[in-house]
A and B are shown apart, each in its own frame.
Chain A
Amino acid sequence: MEQLYYSLLVMLLGVLGCVFYFFGSNWLLIIMFPINHVSNEKMAKNIRRAAAIRPWLFLGPALFFLGLYLVYPVFDSVYLSLHGRNGEDFVGLANYQWLFNDNEFIESLINNVMWLLIVPALSTFFGLIIAALTDRIRWGNIAKSLIFMPMAISFIGASIIWKFVYDYRAEGSDQIGLLNALVVYFGGTPQAWITIPFWNDILLMVILIWIQTGFAMVILSAALRGIPEETVEAAVLDGANGIQIFFKILIPQIWGSIAVVWTTITILVLKVFDIVLAMTNGQWDTQVLANMMFDWMFRGGGDFGRGAAIAVIIMIAVIPVMVWNVRQANAQMEGR
Chain B
Amino acid sequence: MQSIPSNKSNRVMMSLKQMRRSPLMLVVHLSVLFLVLLWTFPTAGLLISSFRDKDQLAVSGWWEALSSSEQNLIGRTDAPDQQVLVDGQYILAGEIEDFNPKDEILRFGWTSQEPEAYLAGSIAKMRNGSTLTVAGDGHYSMVSPMPFTGSRGNRIFYTALASPKFTLDNYDEVLHSEGIGQSFINSLTVTIPATIIPILIAAFAAYALSWMRLPGRGILIALVVGLLVVPLQMSLIPLLQLYNTIGGYFGVSAKSYLGIWLAHTGFGLPLAIYLLRNYISGLPKEIIESARVDGANDFDIFVKIILPLSFPALASFAIFQFLWVWNDLLVATVFLGNGEHELVLTGRLRELLGSRGGNWEILTASAFVSIAVPLTVFFTLQRYLVRGLLTGSVK
Give A residues with C-beta under 8 Å from B. 3-4, 7, 10-11, 14-15, 18-19, 22, 26, 47, 50-51, 54-56, 58-59, 61-63, 65-66, 68-74, 76-77, 80, 87, 126, 129-130, 133-134, 136-137, 140, 143, 145-157, 159-165, 167, 173-178, 181, 210, 213-215, 218-219, 222-223, 226, 233, 236-237, 242, 257, 260-261, 264, 267, 270-271, 273-274, 277-278, 290, 293-294, 297, 304, 307-308, 310-312, 314-315, 318, 321-322, 325-326, 329-330, 332-333
Chain B min CB distance to A99 (Å): 15
A176-B59 CB under 8 A given contacts A70-B267, A156-B349, A322-B226:
yes
From B105-113, B126-134, B230-238, the one touching the partner chain is B230-238
Asked if A178 and B394 make an inter-chain contact with CB atoms under 8 angstroms apart, the answer reads no
Asked if B233 and A264 make an inter-chain contact with CB atoms under 8 angstroms apart, the answer reads no
Asked if B266 and A242 make an inter-chain contact with CB atoms under 8 angstroms apart, the answer reads no
A73-B234 CB under 8 A given contacts A54-B298, A161-B46:
yes
Instruction: List the B side residues contacting A56 at CB < 8 Å.
Output: 214
Chain B min CB distance to A132 (Å): 9
Chain B min CB distance to A118 (Å): 17
13 A-B interface contacts by CB (under 8 A): A7-B189, A14-B261, A61-B204, A62-B205, A65-B266, A69-B267, A70-B270, A77-B234, A149-B378, A165-B45, A294-B330, A304-B241, A329-B222
Chain B min CB distance to A227 (Å): 12
Asked if B273 and A145 make an inter-chain contact with CB atoms under 8 angstroms apart, the answer reads no
- Judge whether B279 is part of the interface by a CB distance below 8 angstroms: no
A271-B393 CB under 8 A given contacts A147-B35, A156-B329:
no
Instruction: List the B side residues contacting A223 at CB < 8 Å.
Output: 394
Asked if A72 and B238 make an inter-chain contact with CB atoms under 8 angstroms apart, the answer reads yes
A176 is contacted by which of B12, B57, B273 (Cβ under 8 Å)?
B57
From B94-102, B158-166, B362-370, the one touching the partner chain is B362-370
In the complex the two chains form, what is the Cα distance from A96 to B334 in whole Å? 24
- Judge whether B252 is part of the interface by a CB distance below 8 angstroms: no
Chain B min CB distance to A277 (Å): 7
Instruction: List the A side residues contacting B234 at CB < 8 Å.
Output: 70, 73-74, 77, 311-312, 314-315
Chain A min CB distance to B31 (Å): 6
Asked if B375 and A149 make an inter-chain contact with CB atoms under 8 angstroms apart, the answer reads yes
B330 is contacted by which of A129, A150, A219, A273 (Cβ under 8 Å)?
A273
Asked if A70 and B221 make an inter-chain contact with CB atoms under 8 angstroms apart, the answer reads no
Instruction: List the B side residues contacting A63 at CB < 8 Å.
Output: 205, 220
- Judge whether B117 is part of the interface by a CB distance below 8 angstroms: no
Report, as a range, how many residues of chain B touch the other chain.
35 or more
Mask, B191-223, CB within 8 Å of A = 1, is 011001100111011011100111000101111
A130 is contacted by which of B32, B221, B385 (Cβ under 8 Å)?
B32
Chain A min CB distance to B238 (Å): 4
In the complex the two chains form, what is the Cα distance from A329 to B240 in whole Å? 32
Instruction: List the B side residues contacting A273 at CB < 8 Å.
Output: 233, 330
A69-B197 CB under 8 A given contacts A143-B32, A329-B225:
no
A178 is contacted by which of B41, B235, B297, B386 (Cβ under 8 Å)?
B41
Q: What is the number of contacts between chain A and chain B, taking CB atoms within 8 Å?
A: 346
Mask, B32-43, CB within 8 Å of A = 1, is 110110011111
- Judge whether B19 is part of the interface by a CB distance below 8 angstroms: yes
In the complex the two chains form, what is the Cα distance from A68 to B226 in whole Å? 15
A69-B42 CB under 8 A given contacts A74-B230, A154-B327, A270-B231:
no
In the complex the two chains form, what is the Cα distance from A31 to B261 in whole Å? 32
- Judge whether B229 is part of the interface by a CB distance below 8 angstroms: yes
B225 is contacted by which of A154, A159, A308, A326 (Cβ under 8 Å)?
A326
Given contacts A150-B39, A236-B19, A333-B218, 14 further A-B contacts (CB under 8 A): A15-B193, A19-B200, A55-B213, A58-B204, A59-B204, A73-B234, A151-B385, A163-B353, A164-B42, A176-B61, A218-B390, A274-B346, A308-B237, A322-B229
A156 is contacted by which of B182, B297, B350, B377 (Cβ under 8 Å)?
B350
Asked if A154 and B370 make an inter-chain contact with CB atoms under 8 angstroms apart, the answer reads yes
Mask, B102-144, CB within 8 Å of A = 1, is 0000000000000000000000000000000000000000000
Instruction: List the A side residues contacting B196 at CB < 8 Å.
Output: 15, 18
Asked if B363 and A160 make an inter-chain contact with CB atoms under 8 angstroms apart, the answer reads yes
Asked if A15 and B266 make an inter-chain contact with CB atoms under 8 angstroms apart, the answer reads no
Give B residues with C-beta under 8 Å from A. 8, 11-12, 15-16, 19-20, 24-25, 28-29, 31-33, 35-36, 39-43, 45-46, 49, 57-63, 69, 182, 185-186, 188-189, 192-193, 196-197, 200-202, 204-205, 207-209, 212-214, 218, 220-241, 257-258, 261-263, 265-267, 269-270, 273, 297-299, 302, 323, 326-330, 334, 341, 346, 349-350, 353, 360, 363-364, 366-367, 370-371, 374-375, 377-379, 382, 385-386, 389-390, 393-395
Asked if B227 and A66 make an inter-chain contact with CB atoms under 8 angstroms apart, the answer reads yes
In the complex the two chains form, what is the Cα distance from A133 to B310 in whole Å? 33
A70-B236 CB under 8 A given contacts A7-B189, A237-B12:
no
Asked if A153 and B43 make an inter-chain contact with CB atoms under 8 angstroms apart, the answer reads yes
B367 is contacted by which of A7, A18, A160 (Cβ under 8 Å)?
A160
The chain A residue with its CB closest to the CB of B224 is: A66
The chain B residue with its CB closest to the CB of A19 is: B200
Instruction: List the B side residues contacting A69 at CB < 8 Å.
Output: 235, 239, 262-263, 265-267, 269
Instruction: List the A side residues contacting B265 at CB < 8 Å.
Output: 65, 69
In the complex the two chains form, what is the Cα distance from A62 to B209 in whole Å? 11
In the complex the two chains form, what is the Cα distance from A326 to B220 in whole Å? 11
Chain B min CB distance to A75 (Å): 8
Asked if A236 and B15 make an inter-chain contact with CB atoms under 8 angstroms apart, the answer reads yes
Chain B min CB distance to A321 (Å): 6
Asked if A260 and B393 make an inter-chain contact with CB atoms under 8 angstroms apart, the answer reads yes
Chain A min CB distance to B222 (Å): 5
Chain A min CB distance to B250 (Å): 16
The chain A residue with its CB closest to the CB of B70 is: A174
A297-B235 CB under 8 A given contacts A18-B201, A218-B389, A233-B12:
no
A59-B346 CB under 8 A given contacts A226-B394, A242-B19, A329-B222:
no
